[in-house]
Amino acid sequence: MAVDPETILHIQELKEKHNAVIIAHNYQPPEIQDIADLLGDSLALATEAIKLDADVIIFCGVNFMAETAKILSPEKKVIHPEPKSRCPMAAMITPDALRQMKARHPDAVVVSYVNTTADVKAETDICCTSGNAVKVIKSIPEKKIIFTPDKNLGMYIQRFVPEKEIMCWDGFCGTHQNKITVPRLRSLKEQHPGAEVIVHPECTPDVIDFADKVFSTYGMLVHAKTSETNTFIMGTEKEMCYRLSQDVPEKTFIPVAEAVCQNMKKITLKKVIASLENLEPEINLPMDILEKARIPLERMVNIGRGK
């Protein structure tokens, strides 16, 4: 449902009053995507946030994404409209548990997916996204890697770097692991035989093997724009299809209907407006965590993105 013009005007006035911008992840509900000044994946949002000439960032995504924006832009006020919007996969690892694993493998380099909390990043050597994970791991001279927290992404990367020994943390994204399955994709393929099946590397290995292509959300967008194919079955969070249909309206994107991240949907228009009015809840991190977590993020940003 489109956001009404009166609400848009109210949001605009509040943004001007506070020199604020709204940034939103590709998995946000359509009405949040519609009011966002900037849309993207976690890497794009974090790196673009640095360049924005704004005093306030209203971050519409899960908690670790808002933390990442704060770590990379500490001078800005970062507001997260719903603190309960948290990534269950990021909650599958704690700094203590990671410290214990590091003690067991002192010769290993810790690579953490950006889907981790700030205190886990503070224990990490270098971060990565699903798009640049292979590039990041190839840049590391050491052979042994502790990869956290997504085992599916870790197993996928291992295919491209057989020379490395990747020890995967036992974490996963429930939306990608449990909701996007081969029977569901096969059934959609039977209904749309000409469609290309594209999946996210957070999916399980059998789903990866079934798919025609594997991309991060950024890679999906690039591929949708440049491919000669017109119909795609999208094995990722359902709302990515809304983003794609806005950017590439001439093509058809078929979601896996069950693939919904409920945590992403905890951000509502009402909460965004309340955040703009009150400039809270604000993301605040202890200075030592913020400074330590910035190091692996900056290393990742310097490597750049892949697909």
Nearer to ligand SF4, 164 or 216 (CB): 216
Taking CB under 6 A as the rule, does residue 62 contact ligand SF4? yes
Taking CB under 6 A as the rule, does residue 120 contact ligand SF4? no
- Considering only 264, 272, 283, 290, the residue that binds ligand SF4 (CB under 6 A) is 264
Size of site (CB under 6 A) for ligand SF4: 13
Q: Between residue 230 and residue 259, which ones bind ligand SF4 under the rule CB under 6 A? A: 237
Nearer to ligand SF4, 196 or 239 (CB): 239
Q: Between residue 12 and residue 51, which ones bind ligand SF4 under the rule CB under 6 A? A: 27
Which DSSP string do the residues of the chain spell out, in sequence order?
Answer: -PPPHHHHHHHHHHHHHHTEEEEEETTS-HHHHHH-SEEE-HHHHHHHHHH---SEEEEES-HHHHHHHHHH-TTSEEE-S-TT---TTGGG--HHHHHHHHHH-TTPEEEEES-S-HHHHTT-SEEE-TTTHHHHHHT---SEEEEESBHHHHHHHHTT-TTSEEEE-SB--HHHHHHS-HHHHHHHHHHSTTPEEEE-TTS-HHHHHH-SEE--HHHHHHHHHH-S--EEEEES-TTHHHHHHHHSTTSEEEE-TT---TTGGG--HHHHHHHHHH--SBP---HHHHHHHHHHHHHHHHH----
Nearer to ligand SF4, 54 or 185 (CB): 185
Taking CB under 6 A as the rule, does residue 88 contact ligand SF4? yes
Which span sits near ligand SF4 by CB under 6 A: 10-18, 29-37, 84-92, 297-305? 84-92
Nearer to ligand SF4, 20 or 153 (CB): 153
Closest contact distance (angstroms) between CB of 97 and ligand SF4 is 18
Nearer to ligand SF4, 20 or 41 (CB): 41
- Considering only 89, 233, 241, 285, the residue that binds ligand SF4 (CB under 6 A) is 89
Nearer to ligand SF4, 230 or 262 (CB): 262
List residues near ligand SF4 by CB under 6 A. Answer: 27, 62, 87-89, 115, 173-175, 237, 261, 263-264
